[in-house]
């Protein structure tokens, strides 16, 4: 037998119960905005010129651009087009960049737990240490927001074998770490079930632009093609189309025009009776309110 995670059962999308999103919509579209902080010359994190470069002043400054400039450009673009967002926030953002949190609150966007800093990873942590990391991040958000986040994406989108159990125990309702489906699915934990909401590792600027080195225009074409195909497919199944953007990547000035054109296409070709422009929290809340047996999984 192959090693197995044991978290969800196989379920082909062509054999599942049908349902619709609020208002009879068939495609849920959301933007995940990754708002991250890094350690200076320490920890881990990407580099603008080399995938495997050591941590130094240059790559720290490149990533810090996202919090000083890029995030504001993305928020302006969203507001220009009337689009909501789910903000995946390192908890240290509250300490180092409180102005960003004020804008997120003013916009009414979700805050999704995203670890303490993207300079660290959960991989390799003992369970007690991982539990403390999750508690630290959760407690910081709760203290400043008045409520704990509902959703979680690990820094670097990684987990240990205990992560889902620890998240369920900490009160999380959904995760974004499992790119296995175009619909939400239930996952088993030792504390009951938790929902996996689709989050893109393909339609993601760090993967396509930085690691695979596609141009901004190529990435914009991917957004349009993914969206158009999922709108077409949503006639047969309700789907989630998500776009992942990082402030220090998508927020660079030369990447904004092609991103704007792609999102303008998304908005203008929405077919208002079919597309739900939403946030990850709302998707999860809607799924939790569905009758048993509709959402596949654990």
Residue 298: pLDDT over 70:
no
Q: Are 183 and 13 in contact (CB under 8 A)?
A: yes
**Per residue in 6-48, pLDDT tens?**
999 999 999 999 999 999 999 999 999 999 999 999 999 999 8
d(CA 19, CA 22): 10
Rg (C-alpha) for the chain, rounded Å, is 19
Geometric angle at alpha carbon 246, from 283 and 214, rounded to 5°: 110
Sign of CA dihedral 212, 283, 241, 73: negative
CATH class (in words) of the domain with range 25-288 = alpha beta
Alpha helices in 97-203 (DSSP H): 98-107, 127-145, 163-169
Lowest-pLDDT range of 50-64, 122-136, 180-194, 273-287: 50-64
Q: Return the exposure string of 205-221: e unless at least 16 CB atoms fall within 10 Å of the residue's CB, then b.
A: bbebbbeeebebeebbe
**Per residue in 192-250, pLDDT tens?**
999 999 999 999 999 999 999 999 999 999 999 999 999 999 999 999 999 999 999 99
Can you give the residue ranges of every domain in the chain?
Answer: 25-288
**Per residue in 45-76, pLDDT tens?**
999 888 778 999 999 999 999 999 999 999 99
Q: Are 259 and 250 in contact (CB under 8 A)?
A: yes
Q: Are 118 and 156 in contact (CB under 8 A)?
A: yes
Return the structure tokens found at 231.
Answer: 């709108």
Q: Is beta strand 185-189 parallel, antiparallel or unpaired with respect to 192-196?
A: antiparallel
Q: According to the model, what pLDDT value does residue 51 have?
A: 77
* Mean per-residue pLDDT over the chain, rounded: 96
Residue 271: pLDDT over 80:
no
């Amino acid at each position: 037998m192959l090693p197995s995670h044991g978290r969800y059962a196989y379920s082909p999308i062509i054999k599942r119960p049908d349902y619709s999103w609020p208002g009879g919509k068939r495609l849920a579209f959301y933007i995940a905005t990754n708002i991250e902080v890094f350690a200076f010359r320490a920890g881990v994190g990407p580099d603008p010129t080399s995938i495997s470069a050591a941590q130094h002043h240059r790559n720290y400054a490149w990533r810090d651009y996202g919090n000083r400039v890029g995030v504001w450009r993305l928020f302006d673009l969203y507001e220009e087009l009337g689009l909501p967002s789910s903000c995946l926030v390192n908890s240290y953002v509250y300490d180092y960049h409180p102005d960003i949190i004020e804008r997120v609150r003013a916009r009414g966007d979700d805050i999704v737990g995203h670890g303490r800093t993207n300079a660290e990873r959960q991989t390799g942590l003992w369970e007690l240490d991982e539990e403390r990391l999750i508690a630290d991040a959760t407690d910081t958000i709760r203290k400043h927001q008045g409520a704990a986040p509902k959703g979680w994406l690990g820094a670097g989108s990684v987990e240990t074998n205990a992560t889902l159990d620890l998240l369920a125990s900490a009160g999380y309702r959904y995760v974004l770490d499992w790119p296995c489906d175009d619909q939400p699915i239930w996952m088993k934990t030792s504390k009951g079930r938790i929902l996996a909401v689709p989050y893109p590792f393909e339609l993601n600027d760090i993967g396509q632009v930085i690691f695979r080195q596609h141009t901004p225009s190529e990435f914009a074409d991917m957004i349009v093609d993914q969206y158009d195909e999922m709108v077409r497919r949503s006639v047969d199944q309700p789907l989630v189309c998500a776009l992942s953007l990082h402030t220090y990547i998508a927020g660079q000035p030369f990447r904004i025009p092609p991103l704007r054109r792609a999102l303008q296409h998304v908005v203008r070709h929405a077919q208002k009776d079919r597309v739900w422009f939403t946030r990850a929290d709302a998707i999860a809340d809607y799924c939790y309110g569905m009758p048993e047996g509709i959402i596949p999984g654990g």
